Homo-oligomer: A and B are copies of this chain.
Amino acid sequence: MTDPSTHINRHRIRVRYAETDRMGVAHHMNHVAWLEEGRTEWMRDLGQTYREFEDSGMFLQVVDVQISYRSSVTYDDVVVVETRLAELKRASIDIGYRIEREDNGRLVAEAKTTLACVDPNGKLRRLPEWMGRRQA
């Protein structure tokens, strides 16, 4: 079984033309969607998809995003989003990311997101065990 505390997912994304801006590079807002795509794949590796998680009536709400941009990429470049657990709390999870170019390994961005586990009413809930929460 995949151990959430050590598992690292590496996910390839090819930069879309629509994601570039007039500076000629991928606009910094798109990296936020790339992180989300990375954690979707990281969760899939753990044995449940985030879609199933939502279908079960739970949500992971993004409460904090921090991104440091290190170098730019442009249309048709391929980036690899590396996703791993950063810290696990009772009702929230910190996920860490490293985005790099696939061709030369150059660091594109480092990021961390905090997600809170909530029910449909927005009430905080304990994270599920498959996401790494210790059993009582």
Contact = CB atoms under 8 A, between A and B. Distances in A.
Copies in the complex: 4
B22 A75 contact: yes
B17 A36 contact: yes
The 8 closest A-B CB pairs, nearest first, are A20-B22, A29-B32, A51-B76, A18-B33, A28-B62, A22-B24, A66-B66, A65-B67
B68 A64 contact: yes
Given A22-B25, A64-B66, A65-B66, 9 more contacts: A17-B21, A17-B22, A21-B21, A21-B22, A22-B22, A32-B32, A65-B67, A66-B66, A66-B67
Interface residues of A, number: 37
Chain A binding site: helix, strand, loop or mixed by DSSP?
Answer: mixed
A72 B61 CA distance: 10
A69 interface: yes
A76 B49 contact: yes
